[in-house]
Amino acid sequence: MAVRKTETRIPTGLVASDLGESFVAADGRCALVSFITSPLVVNRENPYVVFVTDAGLAAQAQSFEWSFSENGGTATTQTTEVGEAVYSPQGTGSLSASVRILDGTSTEQASLSLTQAMVPLHPGLEAMIDAAKDDTGPSVSDPDVARELVNDYNIYYQAVSPPTPETGDAFQQFVFSLLFEGASKRTLAERKQLIEDLAGALDSADNDDFVNQTAEGVGVCNIRLPLLAMMPSSGAPLLPWTELPQPAAQNEYADQQLRQKFAALDEATLIDCFNLARFPKSNITQCAYIIGALRDHYFAGTNFNDVLTGMSGTRAFWIAMHFRQGPLITT
């Protein structure tokens, strides 16, 4: 199988490391990206993606041979038809993850590798989860989601910052709240399936299927792709600013029209938006940017501490609603 369209380009203006932990070939023809940045946590699944950005290499590539070796031991190998594989560390120590790009005769055309650390589950979170089992007070509301965010993405959401500097951590709190909500909306498996469905629609150029699939938010923060196109973190908007009506019947029709306009954008733009939402690191980064842009649009001059605490949290409620469903027409 040829390289999928979704693995032929890094989003414009970004490098592989903006998507996750990465290794780029010396000749620049391909790159390996790990969803999770080292250290990886034992028994937690981590996806790896190979981008083949050179057209000649992409034309040659027919399969991908993956190898995962823990602490220098016997490697676990697998072959995939597309440039993506998953691996769950079995112990602590050091992991060597590598991939060979093979042609139709199984001859190696390129290879990439990463060395990552492997560690146990976050002990502080596990202590909180264990304590909550016998505690009648406040507890960890969703242990599975908490484990995912703390063990896998902590480094990503801790790195976000508001559009303009301000004291305190209200912005990070707000981003984390939407991240937790997004991750709780669908299981990892359900999010992964949507990503696969979108990649398939893009690869086959099935416009109707792509329009239907974009009705759902994408990735760990559950980002609406048309909203991402309206509020890109760099460059001019890819779609004109469009506010949707709030009544359900009107909203459904207007949202479909917006998704059709999004699907009519050029293929490279659609692939870039897809990949920005696909990877947890860039998904969280884009979520933070959109939240900041929504604050600036609707509540300019208000810092995020006031967003969260002022007016009984009304501004936070509206920004979150615009992020989830809109932007929406307000009166």
Assess if residue 85 is contained within a domain.
Answer: yes
Which of 161, 109, 114, 108 has the alpha carbon at shortest distance from 17? 114
Assess if residue 95 is contained within a domain.
Answer: yes
Cα dist. 132→103, 127, 174, 184 in Å?
53, 9, 24, 19
Number of alpha helices (DSSP H) and beta strands (DSSP E) in the chain: 13, 9
Whole-prediction pTM: 0.95
Domains contained in the chain, number: 2
Pair (110, 215) in one structural domain: no
Radius of gyration, alpha carbons of the chain? 21
8 Å CB contact between 52 and 83: yes
Q: Identify the domain containing residue 85 by its residue range.
A: 5-119
Pair (115, 189) in one structural domain: no
Last residue of a domain, one of 94, 119, 144: 119
Pair (19, 115) in one structural domain: yes
Amino acid 139: pLDDT: 52
Cα 313 from Cα 309, distance rounded (Å) = 5
Cα 185 from Cα 323, distance rounded (Å) = 14
Last residue of a domain, one of 119, 143, 173: 119
> Domain of 66: which CATH number?
2.60.40.10
Last residue of a domain, one of 81, 103, 119: 119
SS3 63: strand
Assess if residue 266 is contained within a domain.
Answer: yes
Residues 6+ positions from 220 with CB-CB distance below 8 Å: 148, 153, 179, 182, 183, 191, 280, 283, 284
Q: What is the pLDDT along the chain (331 residues), one digit of tens a residue?
A: 679 999 999 999 999 999 999 999 999 999 999 999 999 999 999 999 999 999 999 999 999 999 999 999 999 999 999 999 999 999 999 999 999 999 999 999 999 999 999 999 999 999 999 887 766 554 567 999 999 999 999 999 999 999 999 999 999 999 999 999 999 999 999 999 999 999 999 999 999 999 999 999 999 999 999 999 999 988 899 999 999 999 988 999 999 999 999 999 999 999 999 999 999 999 999 999 999 999 999 999 999 999 999 888 999 999 999 999 989 998 7
Assess if residue 176 is contained within a domain.
Answer: no
Amino acid 135: pLDDT: 64
Residue recorded with tokens 């501004």: 315
Residues 6+ positions from 34 with CB-CB distance below 8 Å: 20, 21, 22, 46, 47, 48, 97, 114, 116
Cα 230 from Cα 225, distance rounded (Å) = 9
Amino acid 131: pLDDT: 86
Q: Tokens in use for 191?
A: 């999010």
Pair (293, 187) in one structural domain: yes
Q: Tokens in use for 289?
A: 């940017």
Provide the 8-state DSSP code for 11.
P
Assess if residue 227 is contained within a domain.
Answer: yes
Cα 214 from Cα 209, distance rounded (Å) = 9
